[in-house]
Amino acid sequence: MAEAKVEATGTPVRRGLTRLAAPSDDKIYTWPHLVRAEFLCTLLVIAFMLVWSLLVDAPLEEPAAPTRTPNPSKAPWYFLGLQEILVYFDPWHAGVVAPSFIIVGLMVLPFIDINPKGNGYYTYSERKYEIQTFFLGFHVLWISLIIVGTFLRGPGWNWFWPWEPWDTHKVVAMTGIDLPYQLGIRSYWAQAAFGLVATAAYFAIGTVAMYMWVVKKKGVEFMERWGMARFGLTSFLFLNMLAIVIKMALRLGFNTKYIMATPWINI
Amino acid sequence: MSKWEEFKQQVIETQVWRSMFRHGYEDTPRNRILAVSGNVWLHLHPSKVRKHGIRLKFTWCMGGITFLMFLITIVTGVYLMFYYRPVAEYAYADMKYLEFDMPFGMLMRNMHRWAAHAMVIAVWLHMFRVFMTGSYKPPREFNWVVGCVLLVLTLLLSFTGYLLPWDQLSIWAVTVGSNMARATPLIGHEGPFREFVGVNDVYDARALLFGGGEIGPHTLLRFYILHCVFIPIVTTIFLVVHFWRIRRDGLSGPPA
Ligand code: HEM
């Protein structure tokens, strides 16, 4: 076998598609190594898709009837995380603002993350906070809410465990009360004013707290390098993400409906 | 020379083989590079890649699988288009026709749908992998942004296709999904601050999407065109940029 032939260039060549001529670095030839891997992967995946499609039929229900609304009406599964936060927020937030912030947040990620480490390899310790934040957004808020929306929500968008029958007449107390009222504020405009102040204070205090936290963890020098634009964007998006968690906790723990209720917009 | 090599040599030297393949492939570095750079499809790749890059554990193969799913939906989708008419009176009947009367109709429909779902899952996993390897960091910031656009396009492709069977599942899922548009601040007729703009239920963001005040035949046509023509073209354009950028910057990897 080992008839290593020496080419004019002096690089040893072996027959068959084995390792050829070690280039000076850790590179290997696309042909055949990468192409072969892609080809095999393609075959396997197509085989898998064929079996899946032979075994499971795509659903087709009764013809569309615009006057007969099914209960529950669920969006396609990949949007059920958003439909799930519709429980806690009005549609303008859950359906429009939240998804926009998600997309914008993802897009600006490479520009607000200035940590040069962990570029091109797996590491947790060198980028702890990035990974934790992503985990909160992607796994906790996106994926797990999709699972809840897909498997645990039944008629009236009420909670049903998989072993519970879907009872269309399940009675659930819908007694959400606005936060200002819960705190004893009774006049309408005082409630609205309180809500506005509370929301503004959340962002103001949150930003300051985050500033102080970053300076404490990373030092003033880091904050200067990071810059106000990056910091401001990061904290704004992060506080919005956190707000979803806070509102969910308020609702589940204290039955709070809105934090801020005005004639134009409710949060 | 091993037995296998000997056998191969004998086959290659037969007259029949020689009549078909006049020239052998000599396995040299130059030929390996030419095989890639001289081929219009393969030259999407660089001619050499770093070893870690083709390991499953690094890329999870997910970008490639997303692309493969896109290709599967195109092939099966064209087949479906031969039989499907985006007209409210026919759409549902065409689905039945396709399922029961067309050769491989059911299989094509299943493949199309499952590949679309798999594409959504694969693109999320791809994004997750790119995040975990920190591959969005310089110089690949812009390709991450392009990727985000592709993510949105993937979801929109799936979502617009969801309506086409024109059954209860599809119109209500799309109704729930699109109802959000009427809550858009300023430009939705149930959104905050609508009174300052003066939108109404037949003239707002949702009406633009639906082609009218409510979901109906006009919506079906609109979603059909978005699904089969517009979004695929836009997606292809962004994919070209995405792949071109990967080719230019190379696959990310640990510092050499
Ligand atoms: C239709 C959707 C998409 C397709 C077909 C696609 C395809 C690919 C392919 C084939 C690769 C080569 C490496 C690999 O397979 O992992 C890649 C790399 C990459 N993709 Fe995507 N992608 C898509 C969406 C996205 C999304 C949603 C993001 C991020 C938000 C993204 C960001 C990137 C980046 C930054 C790279 C370079 C990775 C590196 O150098 O390690 N792509 N993409």
Domain segments of chain B as ranges: 1-48, 50-249
The preferred substitution site among B68, B234, B236, B246 for testing ligand 1, maximizing ligand atoms within 8 Å of CB, is B246
The Å distance, Cα B84 to ligand 1 centre, comes to 32
Is A12 contained in some domain? no
Is A138 contained in some domain? yes
Q: What is the CATH number of domain B50-249?
A: 1.20.810.10
Say whether A64 and B92 touch across the interface (CB within 8 A): yes
Is A52 contained in some domain? no
Say whether A57 and B168 touch across the interface (CB within 8 A): no
Phi, psi of A243 (to 5 degrees): -60, -35
Structural tokens at position A41: 């992967």
Nearest C-alpha neighbor of B243 from the set B169, B160, B140? B140
Domain carrying residue A138: 83-254
The Å distance, Cα B140 to ligand 1 centre, comes to 10
- Domain count for chain A: 1
Number of other CB atoms surrounding residue A232 within 10 Å: 14
Distance CA A59, CA A50 (A): 17
Q: ipTM of the predicted structure?
A: 0.90
Is A197 contained in some domain? yes
Number of other CB atoms surrounding residue A175 within 10 Å: 7
Q: Which residues on chain A are in Cβ contact (under 8 Å) with B171? A: 64, 66
Contact A94, B183 (CB under 8 A): no
**Residues framing ligand 1 (Cβ under 6 A):** A 106; B 59, 62-64, 66-67, 70, 123, 126-127, 130, 133, 135-136, 140, 143-144, 147-148, 150-151, 154, 239, 242, 246, 251-252
Q: Could you list the pLDDT tens digit for every one of the 267 residues in chain A?
A: 344 444 444 444 444 555 554 445 678 898 888 999 999 999 999 999 999 999 999 999 999 998 899 989 999 999 999 999 999 999 999 999 999 999 999 999 999 999 999 999 999 999 999 999 999 999 999 999 999 999 999 998 888 999 988 888 877 766 688 888 888 888 888 999 999 999 999 999 999 999 999 999 999 999 999 999 999 999 999 999 999 999 999 998 888 889 988 888 888
Predicted local distance difference test score (pLDDT) of residue B194 = 87
Record the pTM: 0.91
Parallel, antiparallel, or unpaired for β A5-6 and A12-13?
Answer: antiparallel
